Amino acid sequence: MGRLYLIQLDGRVYSCRCCRSHLAQCDELVSKSFHCRHGKAYLFNTVVNVSLGPQEDRLMTTGKHTVADICCNSCQQVVGWKYESAYEKSQKYKEGKFILERAKMIDGDGGNFFLETHEVDSDAENE
């Protein structure tokens, strides 16, 4: 196995809670109004230091989507998912974007999350 190379981001970043690897810059945050099985989740334009799992269809509160789980490249923990496609026209804006679960990340200051300023009422996975 080769050497692990991780991208180090500048500025305020979200990092993996387990290993502190950088996952996304604050500037890439699209929305804090999402839910997942473990609570709140954030939608990002881009993320780094993750690997994609296999694609699968999932029924979520906003309809059926094709998604792929994303795992931290350093510790291999599932930290969220990538929206590959949406079946409903109103959900097409999510395609190509990433969800990071808030419970699985920390902010650049070592805190568990950034201050909430938005209500959470949008997408969730059905268990």
Q: What is the pLDDT of residues 32-41, one digit of tens each?
A: 999 998 899 9
Q: What is the pLDDT of residue 28?
A: 96
| Residue that is written with structure tokens 């395609």 in the block | 95
Name the amino acid, one letter, at 24: A
With the C-alpha atoms ordered 50, 21, 93, 36, is the resulting torsion angle positive or negative?
Answer: positive
Q: What is the pLDDT of residues 13-29, one digit of tens each?
A: 999 999 999 999 999 99
Q: Which pTM value belongs to this model?
A: 0.83
Name the strands in the sheet holding 22-25, side by side, starting at the edge strand that comes first in the sequence. Answer: 22-25, 13-16, 105-107
91's tokens: 């959900």
CA angle 3, 29, 8 (to 5 degrees): 25
Residue 35: give its domain's CATH number.
Answer: 2.170.150.20
Count how many domains the chain has: 1
Does residue 49 belong to any structural domain of this protein?
A: yes
Q: How far apart are CA 99 and CA 35, in angstroms?
A: 9
Domain holding 61, by residue range, is 13-107
Greater pLDDT, 110 or 41: 41
